[in-house]
Structure 1
Amino acid sequence: MRLLHTSDWHLGQNFFTQNRKSEHQAFTQWLIQQVEERNIDAVVIAGDVFDTGTPPSYARELYNQFIVNLNKVGCQLVVLGGNHDSVSTLNESKQLLAQLNTQVIASTSSEPSEQVVELKRNDEVIGLVCAIPFVRARDVMSSQAGESGVEKQQALGKAIAEHYHLVYQEAFKRREELGKEIPIIATGHLTALGVKTSESVRDIYIGTLDGFDANGFPPADYIALGHIHRPQVVAKQEYIRYCGSPIPLSFDELKWQKQVIVVEFDGTDPTIEPIEVPRFQAMQAIKGDLESIEKQLSDLDFEHSEVLWLSIEVETQDYLTDLQERVQILLEGTCWEVVQLRRAKGVRNHTMQAQEKIELSELTPFEVFEKRLDLEAFDSDELKQRKQRITTTFNQIVEGVELEAAPQTPHIEGEKSS
């Protein structure tokens, strides 16, 4: 059996001032080609199909068209809900998509058997998926009065691990009934402890849990994870993987190659092969003083007629009211566009400390929040716990707001994409 693992498409994302429709369209077409050429039996999307809970119509069209095209080449699809996805949005077409060989698991079920998906080829079961989407705390546990923050974290981590193992036991039981050695794949959309993130990844908190211990995963043959946009192995276990997002969702993601993962099973033994995803939009990040930026722009290996998205981070202690105009002069005669222009973080901090004027748009909500917290004293252990609770609540509120509507981004910008 051959499985393709992908995640974090974020269809409908507004990237500063830019629309990502053409990139996502090119990616889905490329992915269909990979499925055909590599004889893929099933594709798993491990969460965050959409960027917001109310995706624009073109994003829904891309999603639906991909499913139709994938069905035409005889490949099964399993879609998991992520923290950016609306449960109701994914569920509204669930029954219809089931007729196109697509199983949608938008939320955690209280019945573990409902989260075991059979992978089939010519009506023969060739694999089983423990289809775990983004887990919300209320789905797996109820809050107990009098628990400390640490006790709540421990209880929640245990509840998620128990849910994983309940679903795995259902899959194991099903494999025993079939009487053949077929692989069991588990999924997840969460932050595993010890992973490396990127600017575009918003911290998610399952209740008060900021990271899940990889020891809580069941003994599946492969574990396909989503939420972290940087591809990586988890806990030094080759079979536990984040595939990462297929297109760069922030400029710092240009540092590594985007990929999807093809897993081929000989019985239950996996052979794992990352497949590089092409870059569908020219992008470049530049940092330095104005003189250095000018030189870097002149050295760029892009045609002036090519549409190039630029992030420029200026390192200067002076507050330049004409910063945008200065940069635009450097780009005259090109099709290059600055979609993110900001001062370096250290410079912004220095400017604020000197109480000089600074654009609010250059700060993230979290930088503003941190500056406000710095005015308070959190000396005792009790107050430090209170600070953690406040920070967790703030993260949850910001994410909730971002899920309700696509972000509005000014031209001079320091805000991270979600």
Structure 2
Amino acid sequence: MQLIHTSDWHLGHHLHGLNRDYEHRRFLNWLLDTLEDRRADALLVSGDIFDSANPSAAAQTLYYQFLAESRRRLPDLDLVIVAGNHDSASRLDAPKPLLKAFNIHVIGSLGRTPSGNIDVDALLVPLTNQNRETAAWCAAVPFLRPADLPRAGKGDDWLVKGVREIYDEVFTALSQRRGPGQALVATGHAYLTGTQLSELSERKIQVGNQQAIPVDVFPEHAAYTALGHLHRAQRVGRRDHVRYSGSPLPLSLDEADYLHQVVAVTLNGEAAAKVESVPVPRAVDIIRLPKGKQDLTVEELLPLLHELPNRETTALARHEYPYLELSVFLNKPEPGLRKQLEDVLTDKAVRLLKIKTKYPKSRESLADSLPQQSLSQLSPADVFTRRYQSLFEGEPSKAMTTAFHELWDQAGTVP
């Protein structure tokens, strides 16, 4: 049996104000081709379908177009979709009866029985092979919010105990449901211990944004655990069959060097015979200058900008132009820096998204640089001057000091 695992689509995402619909459309079309080429039996999507709980109409259109096209091209494909922390559980659940009629299983939240217990049966999804025989069972568990969890004790680890209790209950039911030779597969959208984060585009989402879940929450006899939430594709601990597929496209410029992928899993009986990464083609490139850790001034950076491809010589449409991030070393403030760089890039086939600035001195806080003196003892003008000196050599110019006083006056306070 062939499975494809993906997660963290974040449909509707904007990168520094730019819409990503073109990139998402390219990915979803590629995913359909990959499912078809590999004759996949099931697709597991482990949360964060959308970038926000209230996605745009365009983002929802991409989602439903993908589902409709998957039914047209792959009518026997089992689709299992669970909610992530960015998703609205109720929004995903709303069309569940309609989608289930098309063999699309969407689990936005933990359902409850009339007695108040977890509706475990709603989380158990049979997965069928090419012969339409049940070859595996999926424990389709969505992102677990604190309100979903039983208060298992009063200690600091109540959250971990609560998550473990839910998975234990689901896997107990799953073990009773499956027949001989049928594999067990799980989904999860959580932050697990011993994993790597993409610092600029994801957060540790659990209670207090601190609690991480140990990998042993998922039983070792599960053939594969399809995780979502972290954008860097990775296995967890030493378990090759417990994996984050990662996001299919960069969600921050710092993810430019990640290998974005989906995961292809071959099940043989009750075990995973093969787990492999399938790279996702990048629809829009990311250029970061300068390369490496060198620091360049504006004058040193300009020759690199002149080498970028011109619009008149590229076959790319404007929405395909690479994203550009520049890092500039400044010896003094440069109020017109962005305009100066944009003027050079006017005829270049790139889109400038971000300018990072570096300074001669450390960016330590002013409070740290004044251990013997309280900030409350300084006037606003003193704070401004000392902050300038913490970044640059010498005193601020008269024009800059005058501008500061004008701004302070406009704020309604006289220094």
TM-score by length of 1: 0.78
CA contact (8 A) 1:157 1:209 kept: no
Q: Is the 8 A contact 1:3 1:43 kept in 2?
A: yes
Aligned to 1:136: 145
Matching residue of 1:269: 271
Q: Distance in 2 between matches of 1:313 and 1:320?
A: 14
The corresponding residue for 1:4 is 4
- 2:248 equivalent in structure 1: 246
Counterpart residue type for residue 328 of structure 2: V
Change (3 A) 1:52 1:322: same
Name the stretch that deviates more: 336-345 or 299-308.
299-308
Matches for 1:17-416 after TM superposition, within 5 Å: 17-72=17-72, 73-74=74-75, 75-109=77-111, 110-121=118-129, 123-142=132-151, 147=154, 151-152=155-156, 154-175=157-178, 178=179, 180-198=180-198, 199-206=200-207, 209-219=210-220, 220-270=222-272, 271-287=274-290, 288=295, 289-300=297-308, 305=314, 306=316, 307-344=321-358, 349=363, 355-356=383-384
Residue aligned with 1:260, SS: strand
Report the residue type matching 1:234 in the other structure: V
Q: How far apart are the structure 2 equivalents of 1:170 and 1:323?
A: 62
| Distance in 2 between residues matched to 1:222 and 1:302, nearest whole Å | 47
Question: How far does residue 278 in structure 1 lie from its aligned partner after superposition?
Answer: 0.3
In structure 2, the residue corresponding to 1:248 is in which secondary structure?
Answer: coil
Contact 1:315 1:347 in 2 (8 A): no
CA contact (8 A) 2:82 2:142 kept: yes
Partners in 1 of 2:165 and 2:365 — Cα distance?
49
Whole-angstrom distance in 1 between the partners of 2:103 and 2:359: 48
Residues 213/301 of structure 1: CA separation in 2 closer, same or farther (3 Å cut)? farther
Q: Distance in 2 between matches of 1:134 and 1:346?
A: 44
Alignment-derived partner of residue 409 in structure 2? none
Q: How far does residue 203 in structure 1 lie from its aligned partner after superposition?
A: 2.5
The amino acid of 2:10's aligned partner reads H
Q: CA deviation at 1:329?
A: 2.4
Contact 1:115–1:130, Cα closer than 8 Å, also in 2: yes
Q: Is the 8 A contact 1:70 1:76 kept in 2?
A: no
Equivalent residues of 2:289, 2:325 under 8 A apart:
yes
- CA-to-aligned-CA distance 1:392-413 (integer Å, 9 cap, x gap): xxxxxxxxxxxxxxxxxxxxxx
Q: 1:349 is aligned with what amino acid?
A: R
What percentage of residue pairs aligned between the two structures are identical?
32
Report the alpha carbon displacement of residue 120 of structure 1 after superposing the two structures with TM: 2.2
CA contact (8 A) 2:89 2:109 kept: yes
Instruction: Indicate how the Cα distance of structure 1 residues 344 and 53 shifts in structure 2: closer, same or farther if over 3 A, else same.
Output: farther
TM score, norm. by length of structure 2 = 0.78
SS in structure 1 of the partner of residue 207 of structure 2 = coil
Contact persistence 1:156–1:209 (CA under 8 A): no
User: In the TM superposition, what is the alpha-carbon distance from 1:155 to its structure 2 partner?
Assistant: 1.6
Amino acid at match of 1:11: L
Distance 2:358 2:109 in 1: 40
1:202: how far off? 2.1
Distance 1:322 1:139, change over 3 A: same
Shift of 1:298: 4.1
Q: Which amino acid aligns with 1:210?
A: Q
- 344 and 95 in structure 1: CA distance in 2 versus 1, 3 angstrom threshold: farther
Report the Cα offset of residue 282 of structure 1: 2.1
C-alpha separation between the residues in 2 aligned to 1:132 and 1:34?
Answer: 25
Deviations 1:182-231 (A, max 9, x none): 11111111111111111211221236652111122223111110010000
Return the offset for 1:351.
8.4
Q: Which residue of 1 aligns with 2:373?
A: none
Aligned 8 A contact 1:316 1:347 in 2 = no
* Contact 1:284 1:309 (C-alpha < 8 Å) held by counterparts: yes
Amino acid at match of 1:212: I
CA distance in 1, matches of 2:365, 2:347: 33
Match of 2:397 in 1: none
Q: Decide whether aligned partners of structure 1 residues 261 and 349 sit closer, same or farther in structure 2, where only a CA change above 3 A counts.
A: same
For residues 345 and 216 of structure 1, the distance between their equivalents in structure 2, rounded to whole angstroms, comes to 46
> Could you say if the C-alpha distance between residues 225 and 344 of structure 1 is closer, same or farther in structure 2, counting changes exceeding 3 Å?
farther
Structure 2 equivalent of residue 414 of structure 1: none
Deviation at 1:316, TM superposition (A): 2.1
Structure 2 stretches lacking a partner, 5+ long:
112-117, 370-382, 388-415
129 and 347 in structure 1: CA distance in 2 versus 1, 3 angstrom threshold: farther
Deviation at 1:232, TM superposition (A): 0.6
C-alpha change, 1:58 and 1:252, in structure 2 (3 Å) is same
Higher RCO structure, 1 or 2 (CA under 8 Å, sep 6+): 1
How many residue pairs align between the two structures?
Answer: 349
Equivalent position of 1:16 in the other structure: 16
Q: Which runs of 5+ in 1 are unaligned?
A: 359-418
User: Aligned with 2:256: secondary structure?
Assistant: helix
Conservation of the 8 A alpha-carbon contact between 2:90 and 2:109: no
- In structure 2, distance between residues paired with 1:347 and 1:96: 60
SS at match of 2:363: helix
Alpha carbons 1:135, 1:206 under 8 Å: kept: no
- Cα 1:259–1:228 shift into 2, 3 Å: same
* 1:114 to partner: Cα distance: 1.9
Contact 2:152 2:161 in 1 (8 A): no
